[in-house]
Structure 1
Amino acid sequence: MHQATEPGSLEPFRLKSSSSQFLLQNLHRNLFRYDDKARLVPDLAESCERSKDKKTLTCQLKPHLKWSDGTPLTNRDFLKSYERILDPATKAPRADLLFSISGAEDLYRTGKGRLGVSLKGEHSLRFELTRLDPDFEHNLSSLILAPYREGLSSGPYRIQKWEKGQRIRLTRNDSYPNGFRTRPDVEILFIEDDGVALKLFEKGDLHFLRRLPTLYIPKFKKSAEFHWIPLLRLDYLGFGPRLKDQGRLREALSLSLNYEELQRIFHSEGRPGCTGLPPDWIGTEAPLCHGFDPARAKEALKSVEMKKLAPLRMIYSNAGGEDHRRAAEWEQDQWKKNLGLNVQVRGTENKIFLSELRRSGPDLFRRGVGADRPTCRAFLETFKTTHPDNVSQVTDPDFQKTLENLDRATTEAEEKKFCSEALNHLMRNDEFIPLGQMHFAILASRKFSGWTLNSMLSLDLSELKTSTGH
């Protein structure tokens, strides 16, 4: 296998990008894992049960859990990890996943208070929740909240050897209670260039290509090694603070992209310009989409004082590979051709990209919200006023009230209603340009089987085996 860069940390709660995701997902495990067909499946937990009022969750760990060195893995390890994530000094990027627990947010904000997690024996965890939070069990499947002890693993693999700057070799963790008992070793090479990785795959030096550039999809689409994974992911073009009060300019930029042309160029199944979220989340079969209308776009631009705003700047992360560069240059060309606007486009290393988003906010940016749970809330929480990634500063009180209602929804009908209302607001006010449902193209050698890659890009190697005949 390969990943773009060497991991900056093996602590799961520090995960900020997808580069090391596949590695960490197989070193660390949580109470649940998510399966696209079976949904939530117990992993380190044996069972979890809600109280009648839904505000208490009691989980029992599998008996005899052990870390990779053979020492006991107990409920206290989970609690210690939660406390560390909530410690203000840790600066964990997704500590908010624990905020439904009583006292969690106070701990994170002030470093003081009692966390509403109680232990019984070594195998019982009792969570006291301040609200119903129907997503909470999904949070307990997140890699980010997995228990952590330095140098050890709780998942199907452990690190056998790390050659700095070159590769990591994994061997099976015999203490992990699930999966295929004789799964083979795994080697992860550090390869930043997708083209180089593809050449190694074609030579047989790689068995799993984690991202096939769209230029090569026609060549490999009929191959038995080609896999086209539909993703639960919201990719979009966002608008920075300078465009917050420039509704007509946002409208012009949204209407001036030929979405069907973009779909053809990237062989997309989902139409760019549409949200790409599952229709059953919204309660309607008709997708929410922007249209291509250059005449209306030019009309909208007439009322904008561009001299005060020019030049517009757009950034994207190089972690998106060649496809993100090609898409950004296409968008730049569309705005020039259809609006006469010169937009400066720049790709940057992912850490710098994230820093710029939060520090200054470019005029336009390419952003992807990968799901940490398969719900509408997971995507829309990015636009909460309190969320650090609300770079577009969507602060409309009615919209924020809709998000609050979505958080409090207790029935499927309520969830669909408020999800639809929130998305309609974002689309109607041109708060973002969605890029449609994303699919992930990978190549996997038939020499190995048993791996699964779900719609949230979680790679499970616990059942990995060498295929018969290879």
Structure 2
Amino acid sequence: MRIGPVMLPAVMFRRLWMMTVPCWLLLVSCQKETQVERANREKILLVGNSAEPKALDHQRVTGVIESKIISSLFEGLVGDDPENDDGAPPGAALSWEHNEDMTGWVFHLQPEGKWSDGTPVTAHDFVFSYHRLLHPEFAGPYAEMLYFLENAEAFNKSEITDFSKVGVKAVDDFTLELKLREPVPYLPSLTRHYSWFPVPRHVVLQHGKMTDRFTKWSVLPNLVGNGPFKLTEWRFHDFIEVKRNTHFWNAANVGLNGIRFYPIENPYTETRAFLSGQLHTTYQLPSDLIRTVKRDKPEFLRQEPYVGTTFIRLNTTRPGLSDPRVRQALSLTLDRDQICEHIMEGFFPAHSLTPKMGAYEPDQKLTFNPEKARALLAEAGYPDGKGFPVYSILIARPAARASAEAIQAMWSKHLNIRVNIQNRDWGSYISAQQSLNFDMASAGWIGDYLDPTTFLNLWTPGNGNNNTGWSDPKYEALLREAALKAEPAERLALFRQAESMLMDAQPILPISHYTRNYLLRPEVKGWHPLLLDNHPWDAIRIER
């Protein structure tokens, strides 16, 4: 999933934080009851969620920010396990089975599964949902997640027009049959991603055609979901509140009465809110506050592995950036060790795109070599940076400025080129990249499931999350060949070869691998470390 920049500003925000904390504490000391204390009584979880979501129609978005809210409102065929990334508890499906080569799967839906308006959830809803996301007129940015279905890619690219040839079929109201283009042993994990979630056919069609992108079905009071909670309030740039869905098939075991998501973009503001009793958990913790919190409030600090990578996305259609020698020069002058040590505390320098994942570990391709970089830049026609265009690095939040400034300084020092920094709100930041209306962007990607393809499939032509203008038929051929390999070692070897090719081309410049640094109150129970950070909301409890 797409994630906004998380690197943190340094001195200015830290000083502001230190000056304003006493004011917050003074305010709290005058209150009879903090917001958290009241929420504890009411069993309402208060969550910092970084930014305002672009939308709650999960077939129109690609971000982590949106996913946190969406996963409270909707549920896929398979549920999330609160303690194990590889767990596969029942979700919208009660059970499932597959054929010998794992290209055919049958899911049996929950007989008591209902939308939050009481309408039964059926296999026809899933067929409708996959039809909608894959339809070329809808232009869903995450359509590629369904390409595992037989003929899904051909339908999405208008190579065929008959959707009945796509590998999804409602055998009856409660039996869904999926036919895949290749063996996919990790399909249950895939269906936990929101691109595989259903949309309510009966509500979508009340507000327009199936392929209409911007209708009112996914806003109050129209939105209905099949998840453990339902949308009850949305105050723009204030909070989004969801309350327990009494029609949820497992409603009796939902531990919370509701959740309130706060779009607090500044991580210092979010930290103040947490320490003053306004939040149960934060989206992140500024890296320069980690040591202070570890010393003074260790019971709140959480530092956990996270399957993700930060990078600079390049628009390879721009002059200069279209030359792989220039892109390699930019990469070779990034001192990733210094960035992680001084700005991104707790993160690890990236030596390729994909983090180590089980038996998969890519070749270490990324190094720091300014001398080689200057030679490549001169070879590309820009000796000592002369004549190189002045471009801008797009960031989504003030929190990304420190890392962008460090990169800006490194390129100035080692290549004598100048870049500007441009800050935009989350929605326009995403839109600019999707329309290739940008030069460079500070970005990141969190794995959607625990397989290298969650990173490597992004960079294929037409992928809604590519947004670089780069593609290579040889790269695509390696991915296709790997997908057909039954032997895991052979499959992973081909992925390594493909990733090596990607790192030679450098349409993106990986910087670091994530660690989740955040704050969590001890009364929140059922919240366990997870590599994908997909905490099932129905498993969370508040115990005072």
Is TM-score (shorter-chain normalized) higher than 0.5? yes
Q: Secondary structure at the match of 1:457?
A: coil
Aligned to 1:142: 193
Instruction: Report how many aligned residue pairs link the two structures.
Output: 464
1:276: how far off?
5.1
Whole-Å separation in 1 of the counterparts to 2:308 and 2:429: 19
Q: Secondary structure at the match of 2:95?
A: strand
Q: Secondary structure at the match of 1:25?
A: helix
Q: Secondary structure at the match of 2:224?
A: coil
* Residues 13-68 of structure 1: per-residue CA shift (max 9 Å, x gap): 12232322211111111011344444333322122211134322111122322222
8 Å Cα contact 2:141/2:465 also seen in 1:
no
Q: Does 1:175 align with 2:247?
A: yes
Q: Secondary structure at the match of 2:309?
A: strand
Q: Does 1:233 align with 2:305?
A: no
Whole-Å separation in 1 of the counterparts to 2:228 and 2:440: 41
Q: Secondary structure at the match of 2:268?
A: helix
1:377: how far off?
0.9
8 Å Cα contact 2:353/2:455 also seen in 1:
no
Whole-Å separation in 2 of the counterparts to 1:404 and 1:339: 38
Aligned to 1:204: 277
8 Å Cα contact 1:269/1:439 also seen in 2:
yes
Aligned to 2:112: 64
Whole-Å separation in 1 of the counterparts to 2:260 and 2:168: 38
Q: Which of 356, 368, 376 in structure 2 is aligned with 1:278? A: 356
Aligned to 1:455: 531
Whole-Å separation in 2 of the counterparts to 1:414 and 1:270: 28
1:182: how far off?
4.0
For residues 8 and 342 of structure 1, do their structure 2 counterparts lie closer, same or farther at Cα, with a shift above 3 Å needed? closer
Moved more, 349-358 or 92-101: 349-358
* Residues 117-139 of structure 1: per-residue CA shift (max 9 Å, x gap): 22233321111223334454333
* Residues 318-355 of structure 1: per-residue CA shift (max 9 Å, x gap): 1xx44421111100011112222212222322333333
8 Å Cα contact 1:48/1:60 also seen in 2:
yes
Aligned to 1:44: 92
Whole-Å separation in 2 of the counterparts to 1:457 and 1:24: 14
Which AA in structure 2 matches 1:240? N
Q: Secondary structure at the match of 2:199?
A: coil
Which AA in structure 2 matches 1:188? F
Which AA in structure 2 matches 1:126? E
Gaps spanning 5+ residues in structure 2: where?
1-46, 204-222
1:430: how far off?
4.1
Runs in 1 of length 4+ with deviation above 6 angstroms? Answer: none
8 Å Cα contact 2:395/2:421 also seen in 1:
no
> Identity over the aligned pairs, expressed in percent?
21
Whole-Å separation in 2 of the counterparts to 1:269 and 1:163: 34
Q: Secondary structure at the match of 1:437?
A: strand
1:71: how far off?
3.0
Q: Does 1:325 align with 2:398?
A: no
* Residues 62-108 of structure 1: per-residue CA shift (max 9 Å, x gap): 23222223332222222222222233333221122223333434543
Q: Does 1:54 align with 2:102?
A: yes
8 Å Cα contact 1:276/1:436 also seen in 2:
no
Q: Secondary structure at the match of 2:88?
A: strand
Whole-Å separation in 2 of the counterparts to 1:102 and 1:162: 38
Moved more, 452-461 or 25-34: 452-461
Question: Structure 2 length normalisation: TM-score?
Answer: 0.78
Gaps spanning 5+ residues in structure 1: where?
none
Q: Secondary structure at the match of 1:335?
A: helix
8 Å Cα contact 2:436/2:469 also seen in 1:
no
Whole-Å separation in 1 of the counterparts to 2:400 and 2:351: 16
Q: Secondary structure at the match of 2:59?
A: helix
Aligned to 2:509: 433
8 Å Cα contact 2:80/2:535 also seen in 1:
no
Which AA in structure 1 matches 2:415? L
Which AA in structure 2 matches 1:225? F
1:209: how far off?
0.9
Q: Which of 106, 128, 132 in structure 1 is aligned with 2:179? A: 128
Moved more, 300-309 or 248-257: 300-309
1:244: how far off?
5.2
Aligned to 1:257: 334
Which AA in structure 1 matches 2:306? L
Whole-Å separation in 2 of the counterparts to 1:378 and 1:11: 22
Q: Secondary structure at the match of 2:65?
A: coil
Aligned to 1:27: 73
Which AA in structure 2 matches 1:121? D
Which AA in structure 1 matches 2:261? I
Which AA in structure 1 matches 2:513? Q
Aligned to 2:147: 99
Q: Which of 350, 356, 359 in structure 1 is aligned with 2:432? A: 356
For residues 326 and 97 of structure 1, do their structure 2 counterparts lie closer, same or farther at Cα, with a shift above 3 Å needed? same
For residues 31 and 452 of structure 1, do their structure 2 counterparts lie closer, same or farther at Cα, with a shift above 3 Å needed? farther
Aligned to 1:160: 232
Which AA in structure 2 matches 1:64? E
Moved more, 363-372 or 211-220: 363-372
Tell me: higher relative CO, structure 1 or 2? Use CA pairs within 8 A at least 6 residues apart: 2
Which AA in structure 2 matches 1:282? Y
Q: Secondary structure at the match of 1:381?
A: helix
Whole-Å separation in 1 of the counterparts to 2:387 and 2:314: 13
Q: Which of 249, 258, 275 in structure 2 is aligned with 1:185? A: 258
Q: Give the alignment of 1:364-383 within 5 angstroms.
A: 364-383=440-459
